[in-house]
Structure 1
Amino acid sequence: MSEKDSGRDPVGFLVFFLVWAKRRNWTVPDIHVRAAIWLESRGDLAVLRCFRGFGKSTLLAVYNAWRYYRDRTYRILHQSEADGTAYKTSRDTQNVLRNHPLTQGLLPPGQGTVEQWWIDGAADARNASMYAKGILSNVTSARADECQNDDVEVPRNIQTPEAREKLRYRLGEQTHILVPGGRTLYVGTPHTHDSIYDEMEALGADCLTIAMFDHEYRIEDASGGMEYFLPFVPEYVFSGIGKSARLLEPDIDYMLSQDASIRFARPPSGLLDFYAGCAWPERFDRAELLKRRRKTRTVNEWDSQYQLHSKPIGDVRLDPEKLRAYAVHPRMELANRAWRMMLGQVQIVSARAYWDCALGRAGGDASTLSLMLDDAAGNIYWHVCEPLIGEFAVFSDSRNTMITSGQVMQACALIEKFSIPNVYVETNGVGAFVPQLLKQALKQERLRCGVTDVPAKGAKNDRILAGLEGPLKSGVLWAHIDVLDGPLWDQMKDWNPAVKEQPDDCLDSGAGAILQAPVRIGRAVSEKDGIPAGHRGEDWRPNGGVFEVTLEQ
C-alpha cells in the first residue's frame, strides 16, 4: 500500500529519489538534485537535455516509479530509439517498484511483460501502466497520461532529412495518444543541427539543459602567438580532438594571470578548447575527461554530446557558416570611358552560370540555376541559386513555334536580369534536350547568351567536393543573402559525401558553376527591338583576355 492510500501525504520526487539513492548507496550530485526538482515541477511539454553519462535513463526510471506511487491509474508510453532500449527503462522501473521502501507491493508478480505491464490498482485493462516501444514501432492504438521520449534522436534515424521527417511523423502520433491534459517529456542529447529538442523549445517547451561545462571558449586555429585573452579563467584546456587530443597541464603547458589571459610554454597550433565549471567533477575527473575526448572522433560530436549544441555528430564537410554573406546586387558604372560591373566596392571581372536540369516537380529533384561572379582577387560570389519549376517549355501551339512559359523562360528572365553571358547546361538524363529549347527561347526573347552543353562525368559527390570544398575552406566563397535564405544552408549542413541519394540540387549546381572556366561578357545581352538595352552593350570587363563562346543568332 502506498502512503497516498494509507492517508499520509505522499512525498515529492526529490525525497523519493533520495530515499532510493540511499538504498543504493549512491552519492547524489547537485545536478541530479536540480533535475529531480525540475522533473516534479516541469510543464506539460518539457525537454531535459543533459550530457552523455549523466544517468538520465536511471533518473527517469525512478521518476516513473514515483508517478505510480502518486497515482496508480497513471499510464506512461515510454519510447526510445528502439524496442530494446525502451525495455531497459521499463525493466529498471520495475526494479525500483519492487525494491523502493515506498512502492513495495505495487507491482504484482506475473502482470504482463517487460513491454507492457500493470501495477496493482491500475484502472485501464486495455492500456498498460507502462507501455515501452521503439519510436519507429506502431503504437497507434495506445492511450497514455504521459509520453516519454528517451533518446529517440540518434544517428541512425536522423542521417537524412527524410529520416528526420519520419521521426517527426512518429512523434506526431503522440498528440493523438495522449489523453486531454496529458504530458510529454523529451530526454536526450542532440545529434543534428535541426534537433527535435530545439523544435520543442521553439514551441514553448519547459527546458532544462545541463552541459558538461558551464563556461566554454574555443580557438579554432591557434596561430596567433604565445598569449591569448579569454572571457573567463579556464579550469580545463584541451588541444585537438580524437587520438591526438591532450589535456594541457597548468604551470607546465601554460600559465594563467588574474586578468584571464593565458600564456603557453610553447606556441600552440590547431584547435584549443577552454572550459570551466564541470557539472560532475567527482565522476568526470581530468583522466576521465581526457579519455572521452580522445575517444570522440569529431569536434561536432564532442559539442553535441557534452556541450549539447545542436550539431551533427560527424564532420560537416561543407559548413555553411564558412560562407561569407553579402547583400548587394551588381551595378554598371562608366569610369575612364569604359564600363565596369561593380558589386559594392568590388569590381567583377567574370561570370558563369550552371543549370542542373530536372523536371522541377514536387517530390523530385529540383531544377536549379546558379550564377557565380568573380573579382580580380580570386573571390567567388554565389549570387543566384534559383529553382526552376514546371515543364521545360510550354508552347502556344502544336507546331512548337512560340514558347510561352516553362523553365527556359524562367532561365531567360534570370539571364536578362543579371546580364549572364553564358549558361552551362548539364545534359545528363532529362537535360539532353534543354540546350536546344533554351537557345530557341533566347532567340525568341532576343537575348544574346552562350549555351554550352556539359555532360557531367564521375560521381556527383566527388564533383560537389571538388567544386565547393576548396573555395569554402579557403574563405573566398561568398553568398548573397537571397541564396542563404533558400534551401542551400540546410543542404550544406545535411550533406554527407557517403550518401548517394540526398537533397543536393543547390550544391550540384553551385559546384558545376565553380568548376567551369570564367566567361567574360563582351556583347549586349538584350537587343529587343534592335536597340541595346541601356548600357548592357558595353564591355565592363578588364582587358585580361578573350574567351570564345558560341552565340545563338
Structure 2
Amino acid sequence: MSTDKDKVSFLAFFLLWAKRQGWQVPLIHVKACDWLEHRGDLAVLRCFRGFGKSTILAVYNAWRFYDDPTYRIIHQSETDRTAYKTSRDTQNVLKNHPLTKDLFDYGGIEQWWVKGANDSRNASLFSVGILSNVTGSRANECQNDDVEVPNNTTTQEARDKLRERLDEQTHILLPEIGKKLFIGTPHTHDSIYDRTEAKGADCLTIRMFEQEYRIDNATKTHYKLPFKVEYVFYGIGEYARVLIKDKDYLITDDNTLIFHSPPNVLIDCYAGAAWPERFTIAELQKRRKETETINKWDSQYQLHSKPVTETRLDPSKLQRYDAFPEVRLANKEISCWLGETQIVGAIAYWDCSLGKIGSDASALNLVLTDADGNLFWQFAESMTGELAEFGTNNKIIGGQVQQVRDLVVKYNIPCVVVETKGSGGFVPPILRKALQGTGCAIRECHVSTNKQKRILDALEPPLLSGFIWAHKNVLDGPAIEQMRNFNPEYTNQEDDYIDSLAGAILQTPVRICKKIGNSENNQDNNTWRPNNTSYEVKTDY
C-alpha cells in the first residue's frame, strides 16, 4: 500500500463522496468505513437489510485504487449480474469523485484497469458470480458480497458447493498480504459468516436493534424486561404491527411491560435502533408485515443464523373452537355464522392423491374467514378409495369426488380449489360432474414453488400472530401431529394435511355468495355473504 502522507483515509474519502451525493451519513456508516480500512486480513461485515453495504463497498473499492493503483480486487456476489452492479458503481465513483476522476483507464464491466496498474493479465477489478470460474486469477483482495442467498443454501448439497467455490479464493490471493472480506446477511442456520468467524475472522455486526427480547407466546399481562423498550412488535407477516405505547401497552419505571389483556401471540421488544431517521416506525411495520417468517426477520434484520429446525409449527398456538358453520335467513338475507362470529369467506383446498402405496393422503381442508381476517380451520379430511365410482348411465355414485360433494353440501362450500400437479391434472372435469347442481365452483391451481417454504410462508405468520383457530375435530386429528413434527429441512415427510392447509390459506379469501345444495331448492335471494348493495334513503331534516 502507498505510504504517501497526502492520501486521505477511507472515511474522509467516503465523506467527500457523500457530500457530493447529498447524503446524510449516519454513525453506523462512519463505523463501517473506519472498520473497512483497518480490519484484519480475514473479515466479516454483517449488517441488516437496507444498510447500504454494497454502496459503501463500491466507494471503498474506489478508495483502494486511489490509495494504491496496483491493488487488485476480485469481487464476487451470488450471480454475475449482481456482481456487475458493484463494478458499475465503483466505476461511477472513480469517474466522478474529486480525488479519482482521472484514474479509470480501460475495460468493460466484468474486468477493468486503472491508471498505474502494473498487471496486464489480472484486472484492477474482476467481478463475477460466486459460481463462476476464477481459477488462474490473482488478487490482493477477494470480496464476497451477499454470496449467501436462499438459492444456494436451501440444501446441504448447495451449501457444500458454495463453500467449495469460496475455498478456491485461498489459492488466488497473494501470499501473506492477501485479504478476504465477507459482507452480507445470513440466510441459513449453517452460515458461512459463522464459519468464518469461528476461524478467527475480524467481525463487525450492526443489527437493526442493539437490544432485543422475545416473548414467544405472551400469555400474561406483565413482563419484566432487561432494558427500557422502545419498539414493541406484535406477530409476524401480514398480521404484524408495531404496538403503540400508552394505547396498546404501558411501560413502568422498572421496565415492566404491561398489556391490558394477554396478547397470546409472539411479541418482540427492541431498543437501540441503528438508523431511526431512515427506518421509521411506519417503515419498520411495513417490512415486518412483508417478512414471511420470524426466522427470516431474525436473520435479515437481527443477523442471527437461525437453525431452520427452530421454526416449528407449534400446534399449541392454535386457538380452539367447537362450533360448526350455520347458514341463517333473516330479513330476506342469508348469512353464515360460526357461533357468534359472522363468516364472510371460505376456501376448500383439495390436494388429490389416488391412494397408491407410499403416496400422500388425498387431503381436503376447509378454512373460513371473518371480517377481521381471522382464519378458522374447520376440517382436515382424507378422501379415500377410487377417484370416482360410476353406476348406470355413467352416473357418479361413489369415490373421492362423491365424498367431496357430501362435504360441499354439508358445509355450504362455495369453491373447491384443486391442486393440479401430478394426478390432480385430470381431477377437475370429474369433480365438476360430481358437483353438478350444487352451485359450487371449481378452481384449478398449479403449484411449482418449494413445498417446505410454501408451508412456512402460509402457516407461520397467522400462527405466531394469533389469527388462526382450529376446530376441536382438527385438533384431535392427524394434521396436528404433522404440524408438530414438521421440519423444513426434510423433503420427504408426512405433511399432506398441512400442505393442503397452506394451499387453502394462500388462496384465501374467497367470498361466499351462493346457497350451496341442489339447484332446484335454491331461492332467488341466496347470497349470505355481506354485500355492497347501495340503497336510497329519504331523509327529512
Cα distance, 1:473–1:79 mapped onto 2, change above 3 Å: same
Q: Output aligned runs, 1:232-311, within 5 Å.
A: 232-311=227-306
- What does residue 57 of structure 1 align with? 54
In percent, how many aligned pairs have the same letter? Answer: 63
C-alpha deviation, 1:228, in angstroms: 1.3
User: Is 2:71–2:140's contact at 8 Å kept on the other side of the alignment?
Assistant: yes
Where 2:174 maps in the other structure, the secondary structure is strand
Q: Could you say if the C-alpha distance between residues 494 and 73 of structure 1 is closer, same or farther in structure 2, counting changes exceeding 3 Å?
A: farther
Aligned twin of 1:10 = 7
Q: Which residue of 2 aligns with 1:106?
A: 103
- The alignment status of 1:316 with 2:311, answered yes or no, reads yes
Q: 1:155 aligns with which of 150, 155, 159?
A: 150
* Structure 2 match to 1:70: 67
Instruction: Give the match for residue 495 of structure 1.
Output: 489
Q: 1:18 to 1:493 in 2, by over 3 A?
A: farther
Residue number in structure 2 paired with 1:97: 94
Matched, 1:185 2:181: yes
The equivalent of 2:116 in structure 1 is: 121
Matched, 1:85 2:79: no
Q: C-alpha distance in 2, partners of 1:106/1:198?
A: 37
In the alignment, what sits opposite 1:135? 130
CA distance 1:179–1:494, change in 2 (3 Å): farther
Render the CA deviation track for 1:216-245: whole Å, top value 9, x for unaligned.
001111112x21111111100011101100
- Looking at structure 2, the residues matched to 38 and 317 of structure 1 have their Cα atoms a distance apart, in angstroms, of 37
Q: Distance in 1 between matches of 2:31 and 2:313?
A: 39
RMSD over aligned CA atoms reads 2.8
Verify the 8 A CA contact 2:309 2:488 in the aligned structure 1. Answer: no
Query: 2-side partners of 1:295 and 1:494: how far apart?
Result: 20
**Residues 414-493 of structure 1 aligned to structure 2 (within 5 Å):** none
Q: Which amino acid aligns with 1:173?
A: E
Looking at structure 2, the residues matched to 472 and 64 of structure 1 have their Cα atoms a distance apart, in angstroms, of 50
Report the secondary structure of 2:24's partner residue.
coil
Residues 50, 136 of structure 1: alpha-carbon distance in 2 compared, 3 angstrom cutoff: same
> How many angstroms apart in 1 are the aligned matches of 2:204 and 2:297?
20
Q: Indicate yes or no: 2:202 matched with 1:203.
A: no
Pair 472,46 (structure 1): closer, same or farther in 2 beyond 3 Å:
farther
Matching residue's letter, 1:195: S
**Which deviations, in whole Å up to 9, do the C-alpha atoms of 1:475-532 show, x marking residues without a partner?**
xx9xxxxxxxxxxxxxx97614xx45xxx8xx99xxxxxxxxxxxxxxxxxxxxxxxx
Higher-Rg structure is 1
8 Å Cα contact 1:317-1:469 kept in structure 2:
no
Aligned residues: 336
Could you tell me which runs of 5 or more consecutive residues in structure 1 were left unpaired when the two chains were aligned: 320-459, 478-491, 509-553
Q: Does 1:220 align with 2:216?
A: yes
Unpaired runs of 5+ in structure 2? Answer: 315-450, 457-475, 496-541
Q: Decide whether the 8 Å contact of 1:304 with 1:313 is kept in 2.
A: no
Cα deviation, 1:336-382, whole Å, max 9, x if unaligned, reads: xxxxxxxxxxxxxxxxxxxxxxxxxxxxxxxxxxxxxxxxxxxxxxx
Which runs of structure 1 show a deviation greater than 2 angstroms over 4 or more consecutive aligned residues? 311-319, 465-474
Name 2:38's counterpart in structure 1. Answer: 41
Aligned mate of 1:24, from 21, 25, 42:
21
Tell me: CA distance 1:264–1:494, structure 2 relative to 1, closer, same or farther (3 Å): closer
The answer to whether the Cα contact below 8 Å between 1:299 and 1:315 also exists between their aligned partners in 2 is no
The answer on whether the counterparts of 1:318 and 1:468 sit within 8 Å (CA) in structure 2 is no
Deviation at 1:263, TM superposition (A): 1.1
Once the two structures are TM-superposed, the CA of residue 312 in structure 1 deviates from its matched residue by 6.2
Query: CA contact under 8 A between 1:212 and 1:307: conserved in structure 2?
Result: yes
Q: In structure 1, how many angstroms separate the alpha carbons of the residues matched to 2:255 and 2:114?
A: 57
In 2: Cα distance, 1:267 partner to 1:312 partner: 28
Report how far residue 11 of structure 1 moved. 0.7
Q: Distance in 2 between matches of 1:219 and 1:282?
A: 27
**Match of residue 540 from structure 1:** none
Give 1:515's aligned residue. none
Q: Is the 8 A contact 2:130 2:165 kept in 1?
A: yes
CA distance 1:472–1:208, change in 2 (3 Å): farther
